[in-house]
Amino acid sequence: MEVLYEDNHIIIVSKAAGEIVQGDKTGDRPLCDMVKEYIKTAYAKPGQVFLGVVHRLDRPVSGCVLFARTSKALARLNAMFASHSQVRKTYWAIVGQRPPAESGTLTHWITRNEAKNLAHAHDHEVPGSKKAVLDYRLLAESERYFLLEITLHTGRHHQIRCQLAKVGCPIRGDLKYGAPRSNPDGSISLHARRLVLEHPVSHRSIDVVAPVPEEHLWQEIAKGFAS
């Protein structure tokens, strides 16, 4: 865990692939507990530390995660994320197939199979579906892989994963959505690169970038773009 930004109301950290944001049935220590421990130690806080989970990243995904440090910030951030106002999330993904164009907008209608934790993208609206929209552009390529930048306009379950798979570009390592093989560390090559938002209390602009994973392919394909 790396702290990217913090003040009295919010904290943004860089999550490593494999970490879970909140506790689940695995019993593994979640990121939210790590952040609480960091705050407790860094600020010598007695007693319980308040920390509100605003949004989540899938376990095999890396990058920016935002938490609220006050109830006031949590309520306002929840409203902002629900309406997709004053928040912009940008992701990087490595795929094994060239996208249909160097840039474009993908619009699908997504249904979810909760029993299998799987989403499916449809070309047209179907019963129970929710509209999903993202923009993408090709940033770089290597001999075998392509680096895409994705900007979300909606926040659907597994949206990027299933929409890219729908157009023939499953994310590297994402067996659930059609990748031919897994990544050695169990990750998928999807990274929450940048988070831009209006601060829920001060209303100033916050712009945070998460460094790309240290894996060799990430470092090579993102060379010239990654800080």
Catalytic position from the list 7, 24, 33, 58: 58
Token pair recorded at residue 203: 């209303």
- Give bridge partners of residue 66 from the DSSP assignment: 12
CA distance readout (Å), 153 to 83, 88, 90, 91, 157: 10, 8, 10, 12, 13
Q: Which residue has the tokens 């209303």?
A: 203
Cα–Cα distance, 156 to 114 (Å, whole number)? 13
What is the distance between the alpha carbons of residues 154 and 126, in angstroms, rounded to a whole number? 17
Asked about 28 being catalytic, the answer comes back as no
Catalytic residue list: 58
